[in-house]
Chain A
């Protein structure tokens, strides 16, 4: 039966955002919006079917899927769909935007396609190309509000991310020299014993892809780009662009035969811990709530990398963390967008009393902040707990201690600041807004996303949990 063939659905997932982008260019303002919304939903539908059928296999020389790619495809498609649907009112609130709605939706579709392509190819070179294409397609989206700071942020993003990815490409050359292949699926099926060039390749891949993941000290583009981009794009950056870069690194890391030698896994763990700690401490001194959210993403990606380095059950935890974080953090960025439109400022000190001015957004923001900081019963909590459990199983108490410190500091930093903005009574220097009362459509999407993060923790969603387990198994991780 033709509908049971995964390639059909994969092609649908890849073609739909491109079709949406092309239609957006030729259609008018309203037409581009409708085309983008419909094709984003079609993309999500196709990705959900692939995840549901646990699609796996290779087609031709370059296309291929397994449980890991199914999971990440679903993640990208989900946040792409919610960001597209959230964009309409946000776009209308921008004075003199750099991009017309047609170009905005076209670039958003191209950005999603670049990520989806990265996740659906077997060749590490093509994965690199897809990831670099995300820079090309998303850089101009950052400039949407046409401010000097947004141009500066886009410039830094383009140069730093591209320079980092060039290092990753150098890593792929070394990997090709060591293994004679760039086929990630074939290499993972027959992992290679670690040699010096391969160790150097994985290290350079960690640095190169780590730039895009947001690992310290290559993270400097991340807070700028996340804070200056329009909120729906920030949601895609935080929720799915960083995980897509993590996916590319995972594919390189999987080339090394398990168990990964201690020196290499320790290096990965140290990068993750330092990133999580630095981000957690930097969260305390942020004056912009969007930068606060950006550093929180960096902290979460640091913890996820720790899970990757630890392997086993911690790797399973890292995937749960990444999935739950994507939904929760995108919800937080959508709420931040509502707040920005209402108050006209991103300064934490200038925002107070949201519980009366934007009650639904305020409530959803508090819940999403709690969710992204790994509070029970959210999926992020389950993920972080499993990462800690993985460290305990290995007797790596220094990892446990460092992670707990990072988690607690990040929790305090995020929730204290969001709490002040929502529950604080005094209101300083916020200009009057012409925005009408809070429309339901503005809060419905963040509510849905944070709801998914909640469900992932409470009942581990029967639909998603087995998929995440299978995805972890692809990398040799999972529940023993």
Chain B
């Protein structure tokens, strides 16, 4: 295994471990640190690829990842936690941590197996080629199972990390212009999500009777 493959495998392992950690954590502050760490690992991989392949596109995307997902969005999320202390913990996850962790591990194994058996043979032979797909599934799981709005935003960011990771591993040459605008778009979604999250606090969570209006 050459140096690049070793780096890809090690960073991939780190990203997988952060994904599993995020599923098992119920406090929001460590979750913000977790997603920032995952983004930092991703940026490190992109920086390495930029250096090895002398490709400034990877370097530019790495800088964007650091700026947006390691610094800016975690800063905004932490401000939210300070403003609304009660949001510092997942609403329902505290008694389900084990269940979430087990589901995350099972999903990772199934996702890995399915991708390796189906798509991997048609894609470049890169260590951890199935990991972006696994990360996408983990992000979806977090979105589906958590109730805390800030944690759901973190789940969405994890999905977006999966996209950047996939672009780095098996979509070499994906246009930088598109990646940059995607970044801005995602930032817009995160900001709108946070505005809505605040409004949810202002208007209060819907009473059961009102929620009934949204059923069916």
Interface residues, chain A, CB within 8 Å of chain B?
98, 123, 125-126, 128-129, 132-133, 135-136, 139-140, 143, 146-149, 151-155, 158-159, 162-163, 166-167, 169-170, 173-174, 176-177, 180, 182, 195-197, 200, 223-224, 227-228, 282, 285-288, 291
Contacts and interface: CB of A to CB of B under 8 A. Distances in A.
Contact of B163 (A139, A146, A169, A196): A169
A151 B200 contact: yes
Given A125-B182, A173-B167, A148 B203 contact: yes
Given A167-B136, A173-B170, A291-B216, A197 B156 contact: no
Given A148-B204, A155-B149, 7 more contacts: A125-B178, A139-B192, A148-B207, A162-B193, A166-B162, A182-B175, A195-B122
Do most interface residues of chain A lie in helix, strand or loop, or is the interface mixed? helix
Query: Could you say which of B171, B207, B210 has the most chain A C-beta atoms within 10 Å of its C-beta?
Result: B171
A152 B143 CA distance: 15
B179 to A, nearest CB: 8
B206 A149 contact: yes
B195 interface: yes
Given A163-B156, A285-B216, A155 B196 contact: yes
B72 interface: no
Nearest to B189: A162
B118 to A, nearest CB: 7
Nearest to A287: B216
A155 B133 CA distance: 25
A155 B196 CA distance: 6
B65 to A, nearest CB: 16
A197 B121 CA distance: 10
B206 to A, nearest CB: 4
Interface in B130-144: 132-133, 136, 139-140, 143
Contact of B182 (A136, A143, A155, A169): A169
A158 B122 contact: no
B205 A166 contact: no
Interface centre among A123, A151, A286 (most CB of B within 10 A): A151
6 contacts: A136-B185, A158-B193, A170-B132, A170-B163, A196-B122, A288-B213
Nearest to B191: A136
A123 B179 CA distance: 13
Contact of B188 (A133, A163, A200, A223): A133
B94 interface: no
A170 B162 contact: yes
A157 to B, nearest CB: 9
Contacts, number: 136
B contact face: mostly helix, strand, loop, or mixed = helix
Contact of B214 (A129, A133, A149, A200): A149
Interface string B24-58: 00000000000000000000000000000000000
A129 B178 contact: yes
Contacts of A288: 213
Contact of B175 (A125, A140, A159): A125
B1 interface: no
Nearest to B187: A136
Nearest to B143: A163
A200 B119 contact: yes
B166 A282 contact: no
A173 B174 contact: yes
In order of increasing CB-CB distance, the 7 nearest A-B pairs are A125-B178, A136-B188, A148-B206, A173-B171, A148-B203, A166-B159, A132-B185
A166 B211 CA distance: 27
Contact of B178 (A126, A135, A200, A224): A126
Contacts of B175: 123, 125, 182
A177 B126 CA distance: 14
Interface string B87-119: 000000000000000000000000000000011
Contact of A166 (B136, B193, B206, B214): B136
Contact of A152 (B173, B186, B193, B200): B200
B125 to A, nearest CB: 13
Contacts of B174: 125, 173, 176
B166 A170 contact: yes
Given A147-B203, A163-B159, A286-B216, A200 B118 contact: yes
A167 B140 CA distance: 10
B150 to A, nearest CB: 12
B197 interface: yes
B196 A173 contact: no
B199 A166 contact: no
Interface centre among A126, A129, A153 (most CB of B within 10 A): A129
A347 B119 CA distance: 49
Given A126-B178, A147-B203, A170-B166, A196 B118 contact: yes
